[in-house]
Amino acid sequence: MMFDGFDEEIPLKKSWFAESFTDNTVLVLLGLALFLLHMFTNHQYGFHQDEMVVVDNAYNLAWGYVEYPPLTPFLTRLSISLLGLSLVSARMFSALAQGIAMVLAGLMARELGGKRTAQIVATLAAAISPVVMAWGAAVTYVTFDFLWAVLLAYLVIRLLRSEDPRLWLGIGAVIGLGMMTKYTMAFFTAGIVGAVLLTDARRYLTSPWLWGGVAVSVLIFLPNLLWQVQHDFISLDFLASIHKRDVEIGRTSSYLIDQFISCTNPFFIPMWISGLGYYLFKETGRRFRAVGWMYVIPFLLYLVTQGRGYYMAGAYPMLIAAGAAAWDGGLLSASTDKARSMLRSIWGSIAAGALLSGVLTLPIAPINSAWWNVVARVNDSFTEQIGWDEMIKTVGEVYAGLPAEDQARTGILTGENDEAAALNIYGGEYGLPQAISPSDTFWLRGYGNPPPQMVIVVGFERQYATYLFEDCTVVGTTRNSYGVENDLADPPEIYFCRKVRLPWDEIWRRTKHYS
């Protein structure tokens, strides 16, 4: 399908809806609907283990963390400060980010010549990919990374269409924000660099606005870069370790298939492939050829380096937008009967795709129902949202049962950062001391001064607990009342340990790990 005849009128009678709202109003209403959908459905279970860490980092703001740059904890702290701590408040900006990205997909379709129908189709199709739908219901840096990738593509399309070089400043700002969110923005940046070098966008290399954008991106990213320098680039060590683990356990083996079943909704595979073809091969898409390379280059880089499939999710709205505009071109040139048939087909695909993604990715299935059992196998992130309150209560009861003189000398040691985060966030209700852990950013924070003489140990196998302490007794378990199996119950035993075998600095050196 070609991009010809976009200024013609669709051969269908205009509806009251078409006459009553501007295109912008329609797109904003769709984005608002997605935002509200998440806000009304994102509080069914509890925080995911990774969310616990983000929230804890939000209470300990810094210019960097071992796991990621500082922007996501900052936004989480802002939402908690405004609305208090709850699932809904902490996840508010994630829901908003998805709504904004949804609108941007529609705006990209408009920039590429698509009429209102194409804009709506692009907006909805971009919103209902499984991973994107899931990210809108969680406090995670990938949500905002997705937004920056979509905004980056929109600005590049605007640049190529308008020939306004000042947009490089916005592009630079988005790259800087992306680097302050997730370091994989470097791959999309490589895509832009390659796109400029491989297409006639090379003309911008002599523009001061492009280099001004480079300066803006560096300036925004500089605080985190300095933090990394001060901490010996510990995040690079962390990322290398996590990547090695992911490759070893097979998390990267589904990279190619993920491009079809999770990064985009399977019902819209033909649309995004059509969009990629438009950018790279159609003469009518020559002006936007750089956008096609913005997809191809990161795709190949992740393929070679064995990246995880979802890393490419942010690249698909720009392909969907072009595909929707191409579909719109075919709609405009079709007969009335054929146009109606095409509309019924696309609306049916949107409805089926939305139902599929919603059922599998929104946190709405009753726990241990037949629906839950299916969802938990497909999307195991839900199982990791169960049991935190019971674990915290158990640790609180153990601590409360200690003699007062022992409480003053007792700390809480956890095997993983998520357990420590949960206990720090909610342990105040039980008068618990701040938990320590040799995992990730918690390792950087250390073991306290003075260090504890006795510890309540959570998340350690018995062999490791007894390796570190001479006297360890089981005082509880982390099993949940639903019987849901998750990482929190592996291992389930909670120990009370006395008599440290090694100096604490030695324990910290030997037990440091990434998770």
- Running DSSP on this structure, what letter comes out for residue 69? -
Which ranges in 128-203 belong to alpha helices (H)?
130-135, 141-162, 167-179, 185-198
What secondary structure letter does DSSP report for 366?
P
CB 287 within 8 A of CB 303: no
Six token digits for residue 280: 């790279």
pLDDT at 4: 40
Q: How confident is the model at residue 290 (pLDDT cuts 50, 70, 90)?
A: very high
User: What is the mean pLDDT of the segment spanning 170-191?
Assistant: 98
User: How many H helices and E strands in the chain?
Assistant: 25, 5
pLDDT band for position 15 (cuts 50, 70, 90): low
Q: Which tens digits make up the pLDDT trace of 418-465?
A: 999 999 999 999 999 999 999 999 999 999 999 999 999 999 999 999
- In this predicted structure, what is the pLDDT of residue 415? 95
Asked if residues 446 and 420 have their Cβ atoms less than 8 Å apart, the reply is no
Distance from C-alpha of 172 to C-alpha of 152, rounded to nearest angstrom: 9
Find the mean pLDDT for residues 472-483. 94
Using alpha carbons, select from 255, 262, 491 the residue that is nearest to residue 379. 262
Distance from C-alpha of 390 to C-alpha of 479, rounded to nearest angstrom? 8
What would the pLDDT profile of 339-393 be if each residue is shown by its tens digit? 888 889 999 999 999 999 999 999 999 999 999 999 998 888 999 999 999 999 9
DSSP 388: H
Given this model, what pLDDT does residue 109 score?
A: 97
| Residue 13 pLDDT class (50, 70, 90 cuts) | very low
User: 205: which DSSP letter?
Assistant: G
How far is it, in rounded angstroms, from Cα 138 to Cα 51? 7
Res 20: pLDDT: 54
Where are any strands of DSSP class E within 282-395? none
Mean residue pLDDT across the chain = 93
Per-domain residue ranges of the chain: 22-361, 386-511
